[in-house]
Amino acid sequence: MQNSKLRTLFKPKSVAVIGASRNPKKIGHLIFKNIIEGGFTNPVYPVNPKAKKILGKPAFSSIKDIPKPIDLAIIVIPAPIVPQVLKEAGEKGVKTAVIISAGFSEAGSKGKILEKQIKNIGQKYQMRILGPNCLGVINPQIKFNGSWGGITPKKGNIAFLSQSGAIYSPIVELLNQSGIGLSCFASLGNKADINENDLIRFLKNDPQTQIIIAYLESFKKGHQLIKIAQEVSLKKPIIILKSGATRLGAKAAQSHTASLATPNKISDGAMQQANIIRAQSLREFLNLTTIFSQVLSLKKIIGSRVAIVTNAGGPSVLAADAIAQTNNLLLAKNPVDILGDADAQKYEETIKTIIKDQQVDIILIILTQQLGTEIEKTAAVCAQINKNTPKIIITNFMGGKNIDKARKVFQKNNLANFDFPQEAIKALNKFHQWKTGKKRIITKQLRQPADQKIIITATKNGRKQLSGIEAAKILNAYQIKTPKMAMVKNFQEAKAEAVKIGYPLFLKIISPHILHKTDVGGVAKIENIKQLKHTINSMAQLKVDGFVLEEAIEGNIEIILGAKTDPSFGHVIMAGAGGIYAEILKDTAFRVIPIIESDAQQMLKELRIYPILKGARGGKGVSLKKIEQYLLAISQLITDFPQIKELDFNPVICTSKLAIVVDAKILL
């Protein structure tokens, strides 16, 4: 139902442009012209009470006057009158509206009220809304350009979503020049209704779309995005350039206040979890799009072993360096340098020989202009070979205008040229990351019988934090180990409990009157019964209600596990290095809850201290399985009790067999 409405966004059977204008400088004119002149064959109606005809088409005073039903209304009128017109569209039975007009939530408090109004109107009439404050929508498959962008994209297999309309023109122009086309484009604007999640879900089943690329300044509902992307990215790679990654950037984006911005590391972890490819710059966004388009369009066989054919020594050394710095690619053999006098035939012979090599999956072809160089002919050779081999061919003809002729050959043949070898290698590496990221290990999680009463009672009583003993009970119910503990009144009781716990142990006073127990000598490490007696007697001088005995845990390696609530992603889970290194080295990894086993494994692998955990350099390491199990248990606990706001296990002391949560904080 929702999806069928979105179909009318990209494939409308009829379109009305409300605010279509005769003035060629107005956006209302541009959009109407783009639709008419773009070759769209379904009916398009201009709505403008002041005009009789626009570009030869009779204009209507109101959308209600159009005698036929309307799928899609594009609205380009001043913001204050949008609600009224939108209501008319709703009454008319319009399925989807694209609101181009600016002056909504991006423009202050009055605009925010207007945006709320249009949202309500959309809901009332079950009409989906794209925008407001956007560039429009384009579907090159049916020659439908419902935008005011000055450039028309080629027809292709890439769906492009953008939160910034202004980024459309340079990106699409550069893609066009590389011979890369779009299946569709949507400008998200303020995302009052339709957001990236709706569109990615819709595009999953769009047969024209093989790859989804998006420029985003915020995640509308990050939690949902991860769920959707996990499914979609199995079939169709999703490449996202996320700006506002820093406080400064987020502030510039004004999409949310800086303090509410999701930390970059959480976005990283979340995208990793959903196998979304994250581009770090506009350049990388384009390079990734190029590689993915090229490899997937021709259904190439994916491998990791790269051979280099070059007429230039320097660039091939840089390419070899770049390969060594990836985690997925291998140099199949030393670069084949066919020297400066290599002509097209020499390239052809060499490449054809290398293609036969079973040790080679990818061929990177480097060319700089030299003595015998035949730029255009060699480009044609590469394009021809690319069509006839299942192996991946990457070209890297270097230069400026000199190689424009080669670029034209490549463009015609859907083989994009990379400016520099290092960039091609980096993009190829991320392609592999996507390919390997699809293998997620899902194991059935055992739901643990939690001590529900504790949390429910605490929530009812309005308490914000569980006590240590309460937290320990919950943890134990989820098979998370905590130190053995006992509450005692006096030495007699303590003596008996100490036998069960075992020495050494910690003795701590219970006292509502004393805030800093350590300062008054209210905490001590006890080695034996004699010391226990002596210490209890001396602590009894303080104003105490009793004592806690706690097993003293010894182990070499400390980690931190936890969970918190992110404004965009909801509950996220964290693993990190413990002790002084935690905060200073910021050695942490995040995922969105719920996680699966491979997420837990991956989180630990992302930590810098992973080699220490694994047991490097003679160290014994810890039980990774145990920590993974705890991460899954935390994920389950939070799923069972979403009222948990924050959870902090610090430290978790780890040995080669055990992991024990020494201090657990659970905030509700």
Q: Is 432 in the site for its own copies (CB under 8 A)?
A: no
Rounded to whole angstroms, the Cα distance separating 529 from 533 reads 6
- Residue 418 lies near its own copies (rule: CB under 8 A): no
Q: Which one among 161, 331, 393, 603 touches its own copies, defined by CB under 8 A?
A: 331
| Conformation bin of residue 225: beta by default, left when phi > 0, alpha when psi is -120 to 50 | alpha
Please identify, among the stretches 77-85, 292-300, 417-425, 636-644, the one whose residues bind its own copies according to the rule CB under 8 A. Answer: 417-425
For its own copies, give the closer residue by CB, 234 or 318: 318
Position 180 contacts its own copies (CB under 8 A): no
Judged by CB under 8 A, the stretch of 162-170, 409-417, 434-442, 654-662 that binds its own copies is: 162-170
Binding test (CB under 8 A) with its own copies, winner from 81, 166, 456, 469: 166
Interaction of residue 370 with its own copies, rule CB under 8 A: yes
Q: Give yes or no for a contact between 12 and 26, defined as CB atoms under 8 angstroms apart.
A: no
- Considering the rule CB under 8 A, would residue 304 count as an interface residue with its own copies? no
Distance CA 293, CA 313 (A): 29
- Given the rule CB under 8 A, which of 6-14, 124-132, 295-303, 395-403 is the region that contacts its own copies? 395-403
- Which secondary-structure segment (H or E) carries 564? strand 557-566
Inter-helix orientation angle 222-232/196-203, to 10°: 10
Question: How many residues can be counted in the chain?
Answer: 668
What strands, in cross-sheet order, belong to the sheet with 44-47? Answer: 44-47, 15-18, 72-75, 96-99, 128-130
Place of tokens 């985003």: 216
Q: Residues 588-617 vs its own copies: string with x where CB under 8 A? A: --------------------xx-xx---xx
Report which secondary-structure segment, H or E, holds 122. helix 109-124
Distances 201 to 218, 224, 228, 238 between C-alpha atoms, Å: 18, 10, 6, 11
44 contact partners, CB below 8 Å, separation of at least 6: 14, 15, 16, 17, 32, 35, 36, 57
Among 164, 304, 476, 565, binds its own copies (CB under 8 A): 164
Degrees (nearest 5) of the Cα angle 521, 524, 530? 115
Residue 121 or 213 with smaller CB distance to its own copies:
213
Interface mask toward its own copies for 618-647; x: CB under 8 A: -x----------------------------
107: contact with its own copies by CB under 8 A = no
Interface with its own copies (CB under 8 A), residue from 23, 113, 126, 252: 252
Backbone angles phi, psi at 661, to 5 degrees: -80, 105
Residues in the interface with its own copies (CB under 8 A) total 77
CB atoms within 10 A of CB 362: 27
Q: Does 504 sit behind a cis peptide bond, omega within 30 degrees of 0 on the bond before it?
A: yes
Q: What's the min distance (Å) between Cβ of 241 and its own copies?
A: 8
Shortest Å distance, C-beta 307 to its own copies:
12
CB of 86 or CB of 134, closer to its own copies: 134
Q: Which stretch binds its own copies (CB under 8 A): 268-276, 332-340, 490-498, 646-654?
A: 332-340
Which residue, 37 or 65, is less far from its own copies as judged by CB? 37
CB-wise, 268 or 451, nearer to its own copies?
268
At residue 468, the 3 state secondary structure works out as helix
Site for its own copies in 185-214 (CB under 8 A): none
Interface residues for its own copies in 446-475 (CB under 8 A)?
none
CB of 359 to its own copies, least distance (A): 16
Which residues neighbour 25 within 8 Å (Cβ) at sequence distance 6 or greater?
none
